[in-house]
Every structure is written in structure tokens, then in C-alpha cells.
């Protein structure tokens, strides 16, 4: 089964918006055994939309997903062009209208005529109700091809795909069985990882399992994929091979199935009934943000400090002034005192502290940009480790956070 | 002048790689007055490539940029398909071969036969020498359409575009002048904004200025574009109309040209010589992270607290225990005390405090999910404001941060 994606809107063509929707859809469809054969981004213009629809309808794809161009403003014309293309007219849908009115009421916002018009939908389509916004999804079928039009706002599109579109597709079509397993690793580069597990990788060929290495800063995901007629044997062989990885690189695996490091750590803390605090200098609140980004984090995260200025380290975290003067803020002594300070103040089981030169400026010969000290305080005492990351500030902050969370996992 | 972009490679279609190349190219071309009319991502397959080339050649575009599929590995077939499409053959280019050999020598790496083959280029093309890698760019012309093929590695593509392709295009074609101005607004939804500025928007038509509204959570960007023969008059009229916006929605404009809210606020704080601290509950360190994400933030950001647990609010920020018990942590009284506490502890000019129900759980009838109190403490005293955002945790955190930074701007 093949699919084509069409994204409508000038913002992608002029480079103001990066097309993350298509990447997300490609991934989701792939995991169901549907291959995306083409992604086309076009202008918010009648002829461009009609041509793209026509080309997709002529192609080998049975599924065409269209995103964008459904907002209430004047430059959004997709709905009208869809009517023209499918030879139908707009009618006002009272259920949709009710939902839009409720949506505005709940937010205490006034409705404009342009919002009412969002309840107008093509007569020939099946409406896909949108719980996250005011633009409905629309499902058309013609000569064996399904066309689905959705708003371009990422969380609205994702909601419609997950809750409306994909279930409907799975109901309609017999899709091949596909089974994926992703193993998340950290603290080892892709080429080193490949070297360690190369014999295991070769053994995948005889099992007809595909492998992909997906690197991102500080993390390499190993994805295994089996495809066939029946799910059960696929599942068995993919899981068996995935399990073998645990004996090859046990210290580098922190989770499975695209779980984030912060979520894996959160789960582990909850499981062990441990609480944690943060004292961040170079990461500037990023670790706190990661730990609190998922719901339920109050079960293990009590709070933290961003001690950007040295005075804050001294007065709030009770770091020794002389240590800062003698060894500098980016030092083993100071980062350990920060971790102990946070742990004592917030009475947690554990505390993370970071201090480093995130860059791009501020490096010296002795402590170049990318130098980072991380400490973990626990009932076992305090440990600290020095890292030398890179020149890029964003990536240094990200990699420090990952390394710190990885150290907490080791302590636990 | 119109252009089409074709990106070749499975990694985009399966969602493993987000297509940032096209966004970058779109932006660069646009700034030269070249409009990207379509972006097409296709598989590394002979027919898919030939069809995409054919469709682009038939379109109104005079320029076709092709990226990807030029590496030394087996699945990179672009070069062979280009030969077929342009009816030519591969010949070994000695200058390219020399450069590849130098490239490997400089890195102390051994050359494989597949690397030698990277010196084979279609006879009918003009070779664009690549200083950053081993795959050459290729320039073809046929019936008034230019086709340029480049490697997909972002920094190699950017080098070829900037140093080889764009200069050649500017030499060959007389390009129109284009001028863009983007005004960044916050605290107002797209439809309300449109309503307030509709007369002004109508006045753009007579000036031949195009407008686009680009919404993202908490922010709407208004982009004006003028195109014509000479830059000076375009610049005059676009800037004049952009300036008019400042009298229409002064309180909602926080910056220009895609500046982020945190950067705009950072600049304002530096300009005014003011320092700031944070005391975050529902935003969990996110505001601190945003403020410290850009270099130079230590000039205005001294530090902060993540007071996730109530005990931290009481013991560290000195929030009154009775206030929390009587009014709850999500209340005007508590958030004001948090802001004052942070400001006093860190001796800053300003302090931001947030407390809210980020969700998705934890809401009550009185304080549903999305209820957020934000306070700003300054020498003028402390102000607080209540917001009702939405059900989505990520977006609540994001919108709270934006609203808080916006409130600081107002206080300043």
C-alpha cells in the first residue's frame, strides 16, 4: 500500500516553516506498513492544488493525505478547491457548528463569521470531527483512492490521524503485518556501536530483519523491522534479536520504543520511589524542563535551582566562595557542592548539578567551550564526571542534560 | 522566476530525516526574488526520479534544484538517471579526481573504488566543484530550463548553492527585487488580529503588497512582501505599511523578522540594564531554559527556582504556608509571593513567577486544566494575571512562558 502526502501553504515553500508534519506522517504510516512514495509541497493556489491532486490520483498511491489551507483566513482556499475537484458543494454541518460554538464558549472567546464558515464542509465528504480545533478533517473516496484533508497545525493533524484516519484505514484495507522494535542507546557513537554489534547485525540477514541506526545528539536509536503476513512470528523474531542487544551493550541501553531519556528516568525514579532535585548552571533549567515536561513528574521531581550567577551558587546553594575563586565555577569541587546543596535544601534522595562552558564564547585554554562538569548526589555520596562536548551551545546543553540523566540512571 | 525543488532519498519519506534543506533553499531563493512553486520528495528510484524531472521540466519553473542521491553507496543512483534523462554518458573528470584524492589524503583516509567513481560526471553537464565533500554539483540546461543536482548533506548543498549556483543564476537571469518584513505579535489569536487590522490589510492591495499570517502557539507572525523592479521603492512601501501596524496593535508587537520572544526580551533587558530571576512551578524550568538558551544571557539572567513541590515554595521561596493551604498553590497570593521571594533572594530588578495546572490531569471545577497565574515583581511592586489556556500540557507550558515574557515587556 502506497501513500502520497500533499502539503499546502506558502510558508513551507518560502522556508518559513520546516515540514515536520510530513516526517511525522511518514513515520506513522511506515509503522503500519504503508509506504510514502512522494511528498509534494505546493502553494495555496487553485491550479497548484488541483494539479497535485490530479497527479496523486494518477499515481500508484491509494492514499492521499493533504494538510494545510483550512484556517479561517482569506488565504486558505483548500476547501473550495476540493469541492471543485470532487464536483460537490459546501454545506453547513450543524454538528460541526455546534462543536465550534462550544469550542469558543469554553474559551470565553467571541465568534466571528469566519469561524462559522469553518462549519461549511463539502457535501461529498465524510467529516472527521476535530477535537483540538475548529477545522474539520475531510475524507473523500474516488475510484479506489482515498483522499484525506486535514489542517496543517501539527497537534490537530496528529489528533485526526491517530484518532480518526488511521483506524479507518486499518478497517478498510488489509495491511501487511509490520513489527518494529526500537532500542534506545546513549553514551556511544554510531560507528563504535556498529563495530561492537557487527556480528549480531550480520545475523539479522538470515532472519529477514531490517536494521536502521538513527543517530541524534547523544543518542543512537537502533530500529529493527520485520514485515510479513502474520504478526506473531515477526514479533517473536524481532523481540528475540532485540533482546540479544541487552547482553552486547547493556550499559548503553536506556529504554525502548522511542522513549525519551527523561521519561525513562522518570519511570525508573517512580519505580524506585526516589525523589530528585536539580542545580543547573550551564543547562540553565533545561534538565528541570525535561523532567517536568511529562505529566506525573511531581511524583519524583521536587524542584530545583538555576544558579546562573556565581552569587546564586554561593548564597542559595551554599557553595564555598573560596572554591569558586580558586578552582572556578566549572570545577569538580563546585559542581559537587552544588549537588549537595540542592539535595540538602530540598531534602531529596538525589540531586543533579551541572556547570560548564556552553559556548560559543567563554572558553579558555584550560577550559575550552564544551567543558562540562556533572555531579550526582545521593545517599551513597556525591560523584562527579568531566565531559568535553563541542562548540555548539544548543548541542552542549542537550548533551549535558542527557549525560546527567544517564549518570543518575547509573547511580540508581 | 519560478523554481522547483526535488529531494531524493528514502530517509525523508519514512520520516527519519526532516527536510530542512528545502526550507533553507526556499528562504535563500525567495530573498533573490525566485519563487519556489513546488517541493517534491521522492524515492531513490529510477522511475520516480525520471518522472519528477519530467514533471518539473513541463512546469512553469525555469530552475530545478535536485538534492540527494550522490553519495558513494549503492542506493545512490541519481547520477545514472541524470545521464539517461539528458541522454549523455559518464566520463571521468580528472580535476574532480584530483580533488577527491587530495580530500582523502588531507584526512588520512584510504580511498575505495567507490570514491574514485565519484569523479565520474555526465559529459553534458557543467561540473560545480565541491570544496566540502567528494560529490560534485552538476548543472544542466535544456530548452531554457536549468537543472542543478547537488549532494543532500546540508553543509555541502549550502556551499554549492552559495558559492557556485546562486552567483551563476544571478549572472544568467535578470531577477526582480523582493523585500520582506515580518512583524511578530503575541497575546492575540489570528482571527481577532485579522478583525482589528482588516482595513489596513485592505489598503495593502492598492500598494501591491502581499500579506501572510503565520500562527504558532501564542504567536502570530505577520509577513509583508513586496516585489518589483527596484528595491528602494519596495522597501519604502513595505516598511511604511509595517510601521502602521505599530499604531494598530502596539501592545501585541514584540519584535520583527522572526526574532523569538525570549531573544526580544533578552535584548530589551540588556538595553535597559535590568536583571531578572525566575520562580517556576507549572513551567518547570522552561522559562529559565528559554532565557539561557542564547549566548550572552548571563548579562541579564541571574538565576531561578523550580518550586515544583509546595514545600520548596514554602522553605526556599518563603511563600506563606497558610496562603497555600487557604487559597491553593495556583492562586494570585501565592504566585505574587513566589515572584517577590525570587526577587528578594536573588536581588534582581525583576522576577517572573508561574503557578498553574498544566495538565492533562489535576484540574478541578474551580481551577480547570489550563488555569495559570503569572506574577511579575519589580521595583514598582508585584502584578499578577490569571490565564485560562488549554488542555494540552506542552502548549500550556509554552503559552505560559510566552505570556510571562510578554508581561515582563509590559512592565519594562
Cα separation, B350 vs B327, in Å, equals 25
Query: How do residues A253-298 score in pLDDT, each as one tens digit?
Result: 999 988 999 999 999 999 999 999 999 999 999 999 999 999 899 9
- Mean pLDDT, rounded, for A384-412: 92
- Select from B172, B196, B213 the last residue of a domain: B172
Of the residues B143, B172, B201, the one at which a domain ends: B172
- Which alpha helices (H) appear in B293-328, and where do they start and end? 310-315, 321-327
Question: Are residues B246 and B335 both part of a single domain?
Answer: no
- Contact residues, A window 284-303, toward B, CB-based 8 Å cutoff: 284-289, 291-298, 301-303
pLDDT at B73: 62
Residues A287 and A388 in one domain: yes
Backbone angles phi, psi at B273, to 5 degrees: 65, 35
- What's the whole-number mean pLDDT along residues A300-309? 95
Nearest CB partner across the interface for A303, out of B30, B221, B308: B308
CB distance B328 to B309 below 8 Å: no
Which of A55, A155, A285 is opposite residue B304, by nearest beta carbon?
Answer: A285
Segment A130-157 shows an average pLDDT of: 94
pLDDT at B74: 56
| Sign of the alpha-carbon dihedral angle for A391, A394, A396, A399 | negative
As a whole number, mean pLDDT of residues A372-389 equals 96
The yes-or-no verdict on residue A8 having pLDDT over 90 is yes
Q: Is the pLDDT confidence value at A217 over 90?
A: no
> Cβ contacts of residue A395 below 8 Å, gap of 6+?
A217, A389
Domain with residue B310: its CATH number is 3.90.950.20
CB B129 within 8 A of CB B95: yes
Per-residue pLDDT tens for B33-89? 899 999 999 998 999 999 999 999 999 999 999 998 887 665 578 999 999 999 999
The shortest CB-CB distance from B24 to any of A15, A23, A286 is to: A15
Distance from CA of A126 to the nearest CA of B (A): 26
A239/A383 same-domain check? no
Distance CA A297, CA A255 (A): 18
- Residues in chain B closer than 8 A to A153 (CB atoms): 215
Average pLDDT over residues B270-281: 96
CB contact, 8 Å: A329 with chain B?
A: no
Residue A256 has a pLDDT of 94
Residues A270, A154 share a domain: no
A269 and A296 belong to one structural domain: yes
Q: Do B107 and B235 have their domain in common? A: no
Given this model, what pLDDT does residue B93 score?
Answer: 95
Cα(B308)–Cα(B37) distance, rounded to whole angstroms? 49
> Which percentage of chain A shows pLDDT scores above 90?
75
- CATH, residue A204: 3.30.70.2860
Residues 76-95 of B with CB under 8 A from A: none
* Selected residues 339-378 of chain B with any CB under 8 Å from a CB in chain A: 345-347, 358-361
User: How many domains in chain B?
Assistant: 3
- Mean pLDDT value across residues A145-162: 95
Distances (CA, A) of B218 to B167, B185, B252, B398, B406: 39, 9, 11, 8, 10
Q: What are the Cα distances from residue B23, in Å, to A13, A165, B158?
A: 7, 28, 12
- Regarding whether B268 and B392 lie in a shared domain, the answer is yes
Question: Quick one: pLDDT at residue B400?
Answer: 96
Asked if the ipTM is above 0.85, the reply is no
Q: Does A75 touch chain B (CB under 8 A)?
A: yes
Q: What backbone torsions phi and psi does residue B214 show, to the nearest 5 degrees?
A: -120, 95
Can you give the pTM of this predicted structure?
A: 0.80
Here the CATH number for the domain that contains residue A28 is: 3.40.980.10
Say whether both A165 and A251 belong to one domain: no
Domain end among B235, B256, B277? B256
Assess whether pLDDT exceeds 60 at residue B271: yes
Residue B210 sits in the same domain as residue B155: no
Residue B117: pLDDT band (50, 70, 90) is confident
Per-chain mean pLDDT for chain A: 92
Rounded Cα distance between A77 and B196, Å, is 22
Instruction: Write the DSSP string, A232-243.
Output: HHHHHHHHHHHH
* B126 and B192, same domain (yes or no): no
Domain identity same for A6 and A137? yes
Its domain, for residue B220, covers: 177-256
- Using a CB–CB cutoff of 8 Å, tell me whether A69 touches chain B: no
Find the radius of gyration of the CA atoms of chain A.
26
Contact B214 A43 (CB under 8 A): no
Query: Smallest Cβ distance to A393: which of B295, B307, B388?
Result: B295
- B8 and B97, same structural domain? yes
pLDDT reported for residue A111: 82
Q: What is the mean pLDDT of residues B352-363?
A: 92
Q: Looking at chain A, which residue has its C-alpha nearest residue B3?
A: A13
pLDDT at A75: 60
Strand pairing partners for B231?
none
Amino acid at each position: 500500500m502506497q501513500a502520497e502526502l500533499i502539503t499546502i501553504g506558502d510558508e513551507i515553500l518560502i522556508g518559513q516553516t520546516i515540514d515536520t508534519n510530513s516526517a511525522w506522517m511518514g513515520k506513522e504510516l511506515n509503522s503500519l506498513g504503508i509506504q510514502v512514495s512522494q511528498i509534494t509541497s505546493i502553494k495555496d493556489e487553485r491550479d497548484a492544488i488541483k494539479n497535485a491532486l490530479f497527479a496523486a490520483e494518477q499515481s500508484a498511491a491509494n492514499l492521499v493525505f493533504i494538510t494545510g489551507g483550512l484556517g479561517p483566513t482569506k488565504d486558505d482556499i483548500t476547501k473550495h478547491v476540493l469541492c471543485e475537484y470532487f464536483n460537490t458543494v459546501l454545506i453547513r454541518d450543524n454538528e460541526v457548528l455546534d462543536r465550534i460554538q462550544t469550542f469558543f464558549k469554553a474559551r470565553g472567546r467571541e465568534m466571528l463569521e469566519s469561524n462559522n464558515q469553518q462549519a461549511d464542509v463539502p457535501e461529498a465528504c465524510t467529516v472527521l470531527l476535530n477535537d483540538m480545533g475548529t477545522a474539520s478533517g475531510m475524507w473523500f473516496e474516488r475510484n479506489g483512492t482515498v483522499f484525506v484533508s486535514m489542517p496543517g497545525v501539527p497537534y490537530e493533524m496528529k489528533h485526526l490521524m491517530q484518532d480518526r484516519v488511521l483506524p479507518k484505514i486499518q478497517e478498510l484495507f488489509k495491511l501487511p503485518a509490520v513489527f518494529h522494535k526500537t532500542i534506545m542507546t546513549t553514551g556511544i557513537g554510531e560507528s563504535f556501536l556498529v563495530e561492537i554489534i557487527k556480528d549480531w547485525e550480520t545475523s539479522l540477514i538470515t532472519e529477514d530483519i531490517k536494521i536502521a541506526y538513527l543517530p541524534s545528539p547523544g543518542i543512537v536509536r537502533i530500529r529493527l523491522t520485520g514485515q510479513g503476513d502474520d504478526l506473531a512470528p515477526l514479533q517473536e523474531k524481532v523481540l528475540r534479536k532485540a533482546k540479544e542487544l541487552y547482553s552486547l551493550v547493556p550499559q548503553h541501553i536506556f529504554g525502548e520504543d522511542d522513549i525519551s531519556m527523561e521519561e525513562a528516568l522518570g519511570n525508573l525514579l517512580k519505580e524506585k520511589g526516589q525523589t530528585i532535585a536539580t542545580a543547573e548552571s550551564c543547562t540553565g533549567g533545561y534538565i528541570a524542563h525535561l523532567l517536568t515536561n511529562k505529566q506525573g513528574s511531581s511524583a519524583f521531581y521536587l524542584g530545583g535551582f538555576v544558579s546562573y550567577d556565581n552569587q546564586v551558587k554561593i548564597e542559595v546553594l551554599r557553595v564555598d566562595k573560596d572554591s569558586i575563586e580558586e578552582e572556578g565555577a566549572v570545577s569538580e569541587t563546585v559542581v559537587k557542592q552544588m549537588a549537595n546543596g540542592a539535595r540538602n535544601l530540598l531534602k531529596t534522595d538525589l540531586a543533579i548539578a551541572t556547570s560548564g562552558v556552553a559556548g560559543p564564547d567563554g572558553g579558555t585554554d584550560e577550559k575550552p567551550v564544551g567543558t562540562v562538569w556533572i555531579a550526582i548526589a545521593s545517599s551513597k555520596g556525591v560523584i562527579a564526571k568531566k565531559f568535553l562536548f563541542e562548540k555548539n551551545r544548543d548541542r552542549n546543553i542537550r548533551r549535558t542534560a542527557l549525560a546527567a540523566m544517564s549518570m543518575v540512571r547509573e547511580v540508581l
